[in-house]
Structure 1
């Protein structure tokens, strides 16, 4: 199975770039599955239902999210009506939607996606490690390919999650910081065999000349003066960043992981 998982989509530039390129990427990269984190796809913060639908219609199979997903109230009504948009599974009971989904990649092959959120320097949610343990027990035994989006701030927490799940899932991929890391690797299972692809952060799909997808000037002003400023999504060339994975469908073992990075003018 060939999988492309894109990092955080930022605002209109990232959203339109992903939507415009996705069908071409599916053909060019011979993708079986395409996913992206979309929690910042609307205005650089949050996700509107109409824009979630457009991204899914463009060729993405599943959207994951994180701590900004609740910015637009209407997403709370939309999320229970679709299985293709996930929110972090370790939100307390009663939060709309789900953090775990099982999907078909065609040809009788199924895969699971688990969305989790870290706690270091973020909201105090339920423990993501124990939540992962509990939800993995609910994945049907015949589903071998399991992809994890761990939306977290601290690199140490992301790497810890990768080791915690090594040998039990196909990939643990970090999101949230919008800065792509260079530590793509495959972790070994308890028998010493390569099994779980890991990357601390997928990066972002958003404006290249920016600070995390936002115009630099207001953010610089905030750093220099300490005064609040309104952040605005930047323009110009867009980067599409993420990871390209090859996974054995029968065992769930990751066979390769490559950094994906493409510049669109």
Structure 2
């Protein structure tokens, strides 16, 4: 089993990078499952129906989200019918539409994909550790592999979660910070781990936002309206993970990074 994961798609440049390069990435690595985080695809905040479809037509099998999930009101009109879209499972269950995990059939093999959101420096929603245990008890006997997109701010929370589930899930890949980390590894009990997959979007800006606006905020300490540029060089970041066919354990994890400084090699 091979899974490709693509980090947070950010605005128009991210859309262009995804449509241009995801088919090439899939042709190179030939994954059985492709997962894309889409929480920033609509100019940095949220997702629309058209952009959800764009991610799928670009080659994704599952779309994960994060703390910007509900920034576009349009999402409420289609999230319950979007079978391949999942939002953080630890949003309050009684008040939140959509679902937090999905089971995907791949050649008679079932893969569980779970989306969770951390709470350190983010909204104090439900406990992601406890929510995972609830979902795991429900799906563990139905899945050969379980993949978790852990959308969180701090490395410590992501690592804490990964170590707590090592050996029970196949992979934990972090999203949200938009900076790809260099710590891809296989934990001792067989779970693949990466603190942050990085973002897919502008390359010469700051976390996907126009750098002049971000710098202005640091200089003035006054409110500034951040902007997502529509033109300029882009990047696409993520990872590819191989899993044992005999167990749910990961065998290999490799970073994906394509940018003007790291051209795509097929």
TM-score by length of 2: 0.94
Q: Does the Cα contact within 8 Å between 1:179 and 1:201 map onto a contact in 2?
A: yes
* Per-residue deviation, residues 232-261 of structure 1 (Å, max 9, x unmatched): 113322111111100124411101001111
After alignment, is 197-206 or 223-232 more displaced?
A: 223-232
The answer to whether the Cα contact below 8 Å between 1:6 and 1:35 also exists between their aligned partners in 2 is yes
SS in 2 for 1:211: coil
Alignment partner, residue 216 of structure 2? 221
Report if aligned partners of 1:144, 1:250 keep a CA contact under 8 Å in 2. no
Give, in whole Å, the separation in 2 of the partners of 1:179 and 1:54: 24
Pairing 1:244–2:245 present: no
Q: Secondary structure at the match of 2:134?
A: helix
SS in 2 for 1:201: coil
1:114-159 CA distance string (max 9 Å, x none): 0000000010111000100110111151412110000000110001
Partner of 2:96: 95
Q: Which moved more, 1:134-143 or 1:179-188?
A: 134-143
User: Greater shift after overlay, 126-135 or 224-233?
Assistant: 224-233
| Alpha-carbon distance in structure 2 between the residues aligned to 1:48 and 1:142 | 31
**Are the counterparts in 2 of residues 49 and 78 from structure 1 also a CA contact under 8 Å?**
yes
Determine if the alignment matches structure 1 residue 41 to structure 2 residue 22.
no
RMSD between aligned residues: 1.2
* Structure 1 range deviating more: 15-24 or 224-233: 15-24
Q: C-alpha separation between the residues in 1 aligned to 2:133 and 2:140?
A: 14
The 5 A counterparts of 1:1-265 are: 1-93=1-93, 94-105=95-106, 107-189=107-189, 195-234=190-229, 235-263=231-259
1:68 deviates by: 0.5
Specify the SS of the correspondent of 1:133. helix
Higher strand share: 1
SS where residue 8 of structure 1 aligns? coil
Q: 1:18 is paired with a residue of what secondary structure? A: helix
Aligned residues: 259
Task: Say which SS state the counterpart of residue 22 (structure 1) adopts.
Answer: helix
- Say whether the 8 Å CA contact 2:36–2:55 is kept in structure 1: no
TM-score (norm 1): 0.95
Structure 2 gap segments, 5+ residues each: none
1:192 match: none
